[in-house]
Amino acid sequence: MIGNLPYFAVAALVIFGLFGAIFGRNLVKIAVAVSLVEAATNLFIIALGYRNGGSIPVFTQAGGYADYMVLPTPQALTLTAIVIGMATTALLLSLIMLLYRHYGTLDVREIRRLRG
């Protein structure tokens, strides 16, 4: 049960994040909600790769525990996902700044020049 705790945290974060992204009114809050989903995804991958009692997957620094390590692949995947997440967050925030400059508001209900 306690071993499943990360997965519950992931589910909760995804639900909060999606809720915020769908029902949020403020653009910055929407960007934060998207980052929350991103964090949840990364936590999910890391939790999948964790092995109870395993050491770090760096051979020369693992000491005497070199035969039992956590999986390195999910960590590599997460690093890539974090880099991509940073890029998307930066782009989202830049677009929000531009939107604020054009519309003078951060409220999604007022930013709807494109419809129909």
Q: Is there binding between residue 13 and other proteins (CB under 8 A)?
A: no
Alpha-carbon distances, residue 107 vs 6, 24, 45, 47, 93 (angstroms): 34, 9, 34, 36, 14
Q: Considering only residues 86 through 115, tell me which ones interact with other proteins, judged by CB under 8 A.
A: 86-88, 90-104, 111-114
Q: Is there binding between residue 38 and other proteins (CB under 8 A)?
A: yes
Q: Could you give the angle at the alpha carbon of 96 between the alpha carbons of 94 and 99, nearest 5°?
A: 115
Choice from 19, 51, 84, 107 touching other proteins (CB under 8 A): 84
Handedness of CA 5, 12, 50, 53 (dihedral sign): negative
Residues that bind other proteins (CB under 8 A): 14, 18, 21, 27, 30, 34, 37-38, 41, 44-45, 48, 56, 58, 60-64, 66, 73-74, 77, 79-84, 86-88, 90-104, 111-114, 116
